[in-house]
């Protein structure tokens, strides 16, 4: 790809996050930026079709969740809309298990930037390890974000699964 700018997009598994990241991917592709949009296979299948002129610039990267006991996370549940509210934390734990395959992808691709959502708190360490700049993208205004609490609460870095 030469000197072309390469960006990895890493949205949270909810359509209120997947779609703004997808729209940003389209905007970047129009600027001739090569985008790797990472999500689970089912989430990727549900995205709108990419116009032929932008297809060379957007690479949809499906990374599946591991298999879980149906009591933990029902089979095929890959987005918040498919998970009962009381099991949202289970979806977050499943999402956290994408850390290793995403780390391998970043190590292999060595993008110029990673654009991340709130949920992938662990990508900070991956970006540091490989020296890849990291940008946080939120579909919410700063004023709205105030109501969600301090950054430690947003990132999930203090999440306790015990």
Q: Where are the domains of the chain?
A: 6-155
Can you tell me the distance from the alpha carbon of 14 to that of 17, in angstroms, rounded to the nearest whole number?
A: 5
List pLDDT tens digits, range 107-133: 999 999 999 998 899 999 999 999 999
Q: What is the pLDDT of residue 146?
A: 66
Tokens standing for 121? 């708190």
Three state DSSP letters for 74-134: CCCCCCHHHCCHHHHHHHHHHHHCCHHHHHHHHHHHCCCEEEECCCCCCHHHHHHHHCCCE
Give me the mean pLDDT over the 67-71 stretch.
Answer: 89
Is 108 catalytic? The answer is no
Identify the active-site residue in 17, 71, 96, 104: 17
Mean pLDDT estimate for the chain: 89
Is 17 catalytic? The answer is yes
Can you tell me the distance from the alpha carbon of 120 to that of 17, in angstroms, rounded to the nearest whole number?
A: 12
Can you tell me the distance from the alpha carbon of 92 to that of 106, in angstroms, rounded to the nearest whole number?
A: 21
What topology is assigned to 6-155 in CATH? Rossmann fold (3.40.50)
Q: pTM for this one?
A: 0.86
Q: What is the pLDDT of residue 75?
A: 87
Q: What is the pLDDT of residue 22?
A: 98
List Cα–Cα distances, 83 to 10, 44, 127, in angstroms. 20, 17, 30
Q: What is the pLDDT of residue 70?
A: 87
Identify the active-site residue in 59, 104, 117, 121: 117
User: Which residues are 115's β-sheet partners?
Assistant: 9, 135
């Amino acid at each position: 790809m030469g000197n072309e700018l390469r960006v990895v997009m890493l949205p949270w598994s909810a359509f209120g996050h997947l779609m703004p990241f997808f729209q940003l991917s389209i905007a970047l592709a129009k600027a001739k930026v090569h985008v790797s949009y990472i999500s689970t296979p089912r989430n990727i299948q549900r995205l709108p079709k990419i116009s032929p002129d932008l297809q060379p610039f957007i690479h949809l990267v499906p990374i599946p969740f591991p298999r879980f006991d149906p009591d933990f996370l029902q089979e095929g549940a890959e987005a918040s809309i498919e998970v009962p509210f009381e099991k949202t934390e289970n979806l977050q734990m499943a999402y956290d298990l994408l850390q290793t395959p995403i780390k391998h992808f970043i190590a292999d691709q060595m993008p110029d930037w990673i654009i991340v959502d709130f949920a992938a708190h662990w990508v900070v360490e991956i970006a540091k390890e490989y020296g890849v700049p990291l940008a946080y993208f939120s579909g919410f205004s700063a004023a709205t974000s105030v109501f969600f609490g301090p950054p430690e609460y947003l990132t999930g870095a203090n999440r306790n699964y015990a």
